[in-house]
A = this chain, B = another copy of it.
């Protein structure tokens, strides 16, 4: 089995996270077909050359089209800003490359549909980097739901809280410009919990949202002026699911003291599960099948090599793994899918569905009423 030869577009935060994933997949999981770090791509030659050296890539390019044209590349990994995903993904698919893209998949539902069509027609593997699905505790949550231990789901409440804008004096940044970033907390943070809700609970039926920009203008570092903030600081929404469950979601960059709190609680007729990213190696589980005097929320340390997904590759029980290995597990699952030619999820259809939920929420903010979530791919 030959290696999987990767071309990575983007070399910053996500470029670093994805690079370590390829290296560590080889190191810890020893896949049948290891990853080969062929080429990394960025527009600034000096920077990308340095990144290629530090991160261990064989070569670098400054134009993503050159990467796609190369014959020695099997997989295009897109870690660039959202507004570039569509063109790169479609070109890669047409060139017969497998495609992994960072989230959010696209700037719009219509773009996402075009991208899905392209990869489907090309018959290549396609995946969206909703990396939190690969936390072993989330994999365990999925398993408990599949085993019927939660029963019928009544509730999901999920929030993704950060605080880096809580200070009204912190300066303007490109992420606060709608033209560049597409959206604020909604696309950045709600995207993740929407994907997890679809994964764990099912499809969204209808939604209604609330968006707010608390600080309307912010100082610009380079001069003495101020600049308008054009994205949402926070977006909350309520939802109904096809299966009758109801949900409450919230994303914000103003939750002082919450550096990166991703919290999900699901209550069903048979039990409940709770996940908090602050304790990413743990899952809480309540079962009403326990005898009454010993019922309670159990904190499962999800580090058992023999019982928990992914953990055989790591350390003895009770030794924690960190954030970056959500990407490592994702890369390993993708490698297996490519090698064994079976599908991998979340794919571009999942990315589209997530986009449809986000867009319905945005619409509901404008119309001030509930919006049905579109689910056709046409």
Q: Show the binding face of A for B, using Cβ within 8 Å.
A: 13, 17, 19-20, 23-24, 26-27, 30, 54-56, 140, 143-144, 149, 154-155, 157, 159, 161-164, 166-168, 208, 210, 212, 214, 234, 236-238, 240, 244, 246, 248, 250, 252, 254-261, 265, 267-272, 277-280, 282, 285-288, 290, 292-301, 303-304, 306-308, 315-325, 368-370
Contact = CB atoms under 8 A, between A and B. Distances in A.
Given A168-B269, A369-B368, A286 B306 contact: no
A256 B236 contact: no
Nearest to A370: B368
A194 to B, nearest CB: 16
B252 A155 contact: yes
A272 B295 contact: no
A112 B139 CA distance: 46
- Most chain B C-beta atoms within 10 Å of own C-beta, residue among A54, A250, A257: A257
A252 B17 CA distance: 37
**5 tightest Cβ-Cβ pairs between the two chains A and B:** A260-B318, A259-B318, A257-B286, A322-B322, A296-B300
A181 to B, nearest CB: 16
Contact of A248 (B13, B163, B236): B236
**Copies assembled:** 4
Contacts of A23: 23, 27
Contacts of A292: 304, 306-307
Contacts of A164: 317
Contacts of A297: 257, 298-299
A255 B155 contact: yes
A282 B288 CA distance: 17
A307 B320 contact: no
A298 B284 CA distance: 9
Instruction: Tell me which of A155, A260, A295 has the highest count of chain B C-beta atoms within 10 A of its own C-beta.
Output: A155
Nearest to A265: B255
A23 to B, nearest CB: 7
A215 B23 CA distance: 43
Given A256-B286, A368-B369, A234 B246 contact: yes
B294 A300 contact: yes
Contacts of A238: 208, 210, 236-238
A258 B154 CA distance: 13
Nearest to A244: B214
17 contacts: A19-B27, A27-B54, A27-B55, A144-B294, A154-B252, A155-B255, A167-B288, A208-B238, A236-B246, A257-B272, A258-B267, A277-B320, A278-B301, A293-B300, A295-B300, A297-B298, A320-B323
B244 A269 contact: no
Contact of A54 (B30, B259, B277, B325): B30
A277 to B, nearest CB: 8
